[in-house]
Amino acid sequence: MLDKSGNDSSSYNMDDIKFIKEKSPVVGQFIEDEYERQKNNVELIASENYCSDAVLAACGCCLTWKYAEGYPYDRKSGNTGRYYGGTENVDKLEEYCCNKWREVFNTDYHVNVQPHSGSQANLAAYRALINHGDTILAMSLNNGGHLSHGSSVNFSGKLYNVVFYDVDENGYIDMEDVRKKAKSYRPNLILAGASAYSRIIDFEAFAKIAKEVGAYFMVDMAHIAGLIAAGAHPSPFGLADIVTTTTHKTLRGPRGGLIFGKPEFAHKIDSAVFPYAQGGPLEHIIAAKAISAEEDCTEEYRKYIMQVVLNSKAFCDEFLKLGYKVVTGGTDNHLFLLDLSDFPFSGNDLQIRLDQEGITVNKNAVPGDKRPPSEASGIRLGTAAMTTRGYDEDDFRAVAGRIDKVIKEMTAEYEENE
Ligand code: DSN
């Protein structure tokens, strides 16, 4: 695991890279360069994190050799439901992984651990609940939603009729608008979840509205799943019909997805993942998911998440103290959006300049953004990755100072050139 100065306490990464370099100098060099970048940079991309060495090792283990289309269980016969022989070990692994994830979220929901990503989990979740052409009410990408929540360039916007609810003038989800649009558009599915929203999402209020209009209620908790697991954000379990997530963000696992559903949707969820959306599951990733689920059940992980949230507040407060605008004026979770609408340069310009300074962020649209998404008027800042590397509140205040210095330099340069 990397510490805050970029020292690696395990020999795993270096030995692994050395071995790859011996076999493929070209690819090995790409990996080594990226490892160095990740070690030396301050990583503030809110969706990224550093997983444990055990998770990393499982991603590269012999399970990558195994095909196992199907499921470890067949509801009718009670036997294995795989289409290949030799699955006795991965069957046990996958069942164990499902049980562990139920433990993480303290739920009796059905769980499918096969989705390769969050987008594929969402593809399967929609398939399980609604038909093509049905209406989804969701948060738009511009306001902090996700590409797979109905963006016109994504499968979700092409296969479904998507209506978006708004945020209010302060950037908070406008629950009155959710109710109004739910009543007038009568969606088949209401979706809560975001990739750039810094406030608590009121799942109870969403569930109530869904019930009022007879819609299914789905939550994509990808960003805040770790906070939910640790009790730092209200849980959607018991309220939502289906809950999807990725495993690599605040959950600190391998790249991948999960789908949870009320028991009555178990069969529909499973057949929407395989054979509808995917073929063979990635059993090496399922092993890594199981290890991260074990890690996420520990007290150490709970403390880590509490520190992520404390760090986010301290980081955000420092920007507010320095006079910056933050969407919604603060944060309740692991991220926030710095609003650069009043600056002469875009989020993209700042992202590029911060890259040169060894600080990694991503440009992000802010509500009502006048710039195109490729430029954007904000940057998204998250604390999950650097908290894994041991950063505390003072470290994040210092990073805010570094970013402030860069912004001031850029502003002066733009003024000089006018
Ligand atoms: N693209 C991811 C993010 O950065 O939030 C979500 O999938």
Q: DSSP letter string over 309-346?
A: HHHHHHHHHHHHHTT-EEGGGS-SSSEEEEE-TTSSS-
Nearest CA to ligand 1 atom 2: 47
Q: Please give the residue that has the higher pLDDT: either 6 or 200.
A: 200
Q: Which residues are catalytic, by number? A: 67, 69, 220, 246, 249, 255
Furthest CA-CA distance within the chain: 75
| Ligand 1 atom nearest to CA at 195 | 5
Give residue 323 CA to ligand 1 midpoint distance, Å: 28
Task: Give me the pLDDT at residue 75, please.
Answer: 64
The answer on pLDDT for 76 being more than 90 is: no
**What is the value of pTM for the model shown?**
0.97
Q: How many residues does the chain have?
A: 418
Query: Are residues 68 and 84 in contact, defined by beta-carbon separation less than 8 angstroms?
Result: yes
Nearest CA to ligand 1 atom 4: 47
Q: Please give the residue that has the higher pLDDT: either 282 or 76.
A: 282
Query: Are residues 243 and 260 in contact, defined by beta-carbon separation less than 8 angstroms?
Result: yes
Nearest CA to ligand 1 atom 7: 118
> Does 275 sit behind a cis peptide bond, omega within 30 degrees of 0 on the bond before it?
yes
pLDDT bin (cut points 50, 70, 90) of residue 89 is very high
Mean pLDDT across the stretch 184-211? 98
State if residue 148 touches ligand 1 by the CB under 6 angstroms criterion. Answer: no
Give tens-digit pLDDT for 129-139. Answer: 999 999 999 99
Reduce the DSSP state of residue 83 to 3 states and report it.
coil
Closest CA to 16 of 45, 49, 51, 59: 59
State if residue 47 touches ligand 1 by the CB under 6 angstroms criterion. Answer: yes
| Ligand 1 atom nearest to CA at 117 | 7
Give tens-digit pLDDT for 4-15. Answer: 988 887 767 788
State the residue for tokens 């210092």.
398
- Alpha-carbon distance of 14 to 70, in angstroms, equals 36
Mean pLDDT across the stretch 77-95? 91
If residue 175 lies in a helix (H) or strand (E), which one and from where to where?
helix 175-185
